[in-house]
Structure formats: structure tokens, C-alpha cells
A = this chain, B = another copy of it.
Amino acid sequence: MAISLQENGFASKIIGVDAIREHEKKAIRRYIIDEAMPLKEAVLQSDIIIVATPVDVMLKVIPEVLDLVTEKQVVLDVGSTKERLLESLKNHPNRNRLVAAHPMAGTEYSGPEAAIPNLFDGKYTVLVDTADSDADAVKITEQLFESMNMDIAYLKAKEHDEHTAYVSHISHISSFALALTVLEKEKNEGRIFELASSGFGSTVRLAKSSPDMWVPIFRQNRDNVLVILDEYIETLSKFRSLLIKKDFKQFYQLIEEANNIKKIIK
């Protein structure tokens, strides 16, 4: 976001705050941020404060930031779960200056090395429970995401968490489990991975994702994820039972149904 907002001229200055000093230095060397400073100092100098931390840290940092801001500043959280955070903030006197946003794009990497230009171009951002934010804060947030060429959708926190469990969180468990299964089998056969198809690479890509980011997401969205994980295991068991019965006619039909994803994912 720092790269995009600088490049498109939306931001005249980017201040970075990171728990890891080395990350701040790297971000400056790479011209991702103009300057680094402690959180409080940075908040006091900024028009817009974007909080992008693991979602458990959000629970602590967002109230700290909201404690510091005035009615002229806007705070954005860009985390992957919303219900828990917004519930915890509902009595905060500055809740109205927060806009809860979820830009639906990312990679499996983290830290300043992972920052890439145009990541968000043409993707969606979800704005959550905007009725609880001041109209001017929502408007500035919309302008910010529009400047990055993003489309905007509006959801309630509960809907957001349920849908992201389906279109993002379950993919990660699927991928972690696939990686573990294959690693377990092939641990004594390093060479065999040279043969891994690009298809395999694509399905395990997300298994490189950081546990520091993902465990808090699963903790907060546990109930939604559990429902889908049960359905996923059930669907896999259907494939299994058809293989056992050698019912390849049904197996064919299941694959044909799965092909409908073509109409939806480009």
C-alpha cells in the first residue's frame, strides 16, 4: 500500500512503524517509506493511519491508536477478520474515526522484501460496518482505495468473516495440509520434488504463509472455519469413497461440477 499510494500521488509522505527495527531500515533503503519513528509520534503527524499487523496485535494496537487521534484523522485497519475487533471497539469514544477495510490481495510472503507494486490493482476491498464510521472518514477511505484502482464492496462484520473463511481462510488450511502430507511422505526423497508439477506448486503456494499472521486469523475466525473444514473433509471423503467403489462415472460428474469454478475465477 505504501508503494502504491506513493506512486499514484495519493500520499505526499509515508511514515513507517514496525516492531522490527531492521524492517524499518530495509523499508527506507528500498524507498517504501520516507521515514520511520515510534508509533505515538507517527500517529500524531499523520492524516491517515493504516494498521497492518497480525489480527491479534490489532486488538491491542487499534485502541492505542484511536486513543491518540482527533476528529480530523482517519484510522484504517486492513486485517483479515473483523467481528472480534469491532466488537471489542464498540464502546471506544473514537470508534467513529476507524474504518475497517480488507483489501483482498496478498502474497504468501511477509516483511519489507514482500512489498510489490500493483498488488492491489483491479482487486476488491471490502469495507466493513461503515455505518459505525464517520461519513468523512469513509469517504477518504474510498478515495484512498479508488486511487489504487480498487473496487469497493460493503459488508457487515459477520458476513465478512463468514465469506472470507470460504474464499481465503480454508484455502490456507487446504494448502498447509497438502504440504505436510507430501513432506511427510517424501522427506527422505528430496530429489523427487524436482519433479513437482507447476500444478503442485500452485496448490501449496499458500503453505509458505507465516504462522504469526495466520494463527491469530484462525483463532478469531475459528467457528466459521470449522464449519467449512468439516464440509471440505466431507467432500474429500466423497471422492475417496468413489475411488474405493471404483465409481468413475460419479467421479467424472463431481469433476464436471467442480469445473464450474471456471465461470467464477478467471
* Chain A interface (Cβ < 8 Å from any Cβ of B): 104-108, 123-124, 126, 151, 153, 163-164, 166-168, 170-186, 189-211, 214-215, 218-219, 222, 225-226, 228-233, 235-240, 243-244, 246, 248, 251-252, 254-262, 264-266
Contact = CB atoms under 8 A, between A and B. Distances in A.
A213 B123 CA distance: 32
Nearest to A109: B262
A237 B229 CA distance: 9
Copies of this protein in the complex = 2
The 10 A-B pairs with the shortest beta carbon distances in the complex, nearest first, are A211-B255, A179-B261, A176-B258, A167-B196, A171-B203, A179-B258, A177-B235, A168-B197, A193-B264, A207-B258
Contact of A211 (B163, B183, B259): B259
Given A196-B104, A196-B167, A204-B261, A176 B255 contact: yes
B202 A205 contact: yes
A194 to B, nearest CB: 5
Contact of A195 (B164, B215, B257): B164
